[in-house]
């Protein structure tokens, strides 16, 4: 089993990714900003496509689906990813900064999972 946390700060608030993988599959939680929460959950079973539940008024499936599909494509199936990142009054550029940061965190998570550490 491998378990780790990746933390970043954006706009003065922390975004945290927690990842755990083992024989039973992979779980990840990506949340933070001014109001960490669960806004979407994405699951990829051993065989089959990603399925997502996104709560009304949220847009967190962009992160949960990206993480779930990337982890599944890398062989870490089954996988479940929950995501919830919130900043008040975020501009379009701010939203892109959150997505870019989550993508960087995903790349680090994949590197860590593939390492022998």
> In this predicted model, what pLDDT tens digit does every residue of 69-117 receive, in sequence order?
999 999 999 999 999 999 999 999 999 999 999 999 999 999 999 986 5
Instruction: Count up the domains in the chain and report the number.
Output: 1
Spatial contact of 37 and 31, defined as CB atoms under 8 Å apart: yes
pLDDT score at 112: 96
> In this predicted model, what pLDDT tens digit does every residue of 22-69 receive, in sequence order?
989 999 999 999 999 999 999 999 888 999 999 999 999 999 999 999
Domain span including residue 25? 2-114
pLDDT score at 47: 87
CATH code: domain of residue 56: 3.30.230.100
pTM of the model: 0.95
CA distance 108 to 75: 16
- Largest Cα separation within the chain, whole Å, is 41
Class of residue 5 by CB neighbours under 10 A (exposed 0-12, middle 13-18, buried 19+) = exposed
């Amino acid at each position: 089993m491998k378990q780790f946390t990746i933390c970043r700060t954006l706009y003065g608030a922390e975004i945290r990714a927690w990842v755990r993988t083992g024989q039973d599959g992979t779980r990840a939680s990506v949340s933070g900003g001014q109001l960490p929460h669960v806004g979407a959950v994405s699951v990829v079973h051993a065989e089959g496509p990603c399925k997502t539940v996104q709560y009304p008024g949220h847009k967190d499936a962009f992160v949960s689906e990206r993480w779930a599909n990337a982890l599944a494509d890398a062989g870490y199936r089954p996988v479940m990813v929950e995501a919830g990142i919130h900043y008040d009054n975020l501009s379009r550029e701010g939203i892109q900064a959150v997505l870019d940061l989550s993508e960087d965190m995903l790349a680090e998570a994949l590197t860590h999972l593939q390492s022998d550490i």
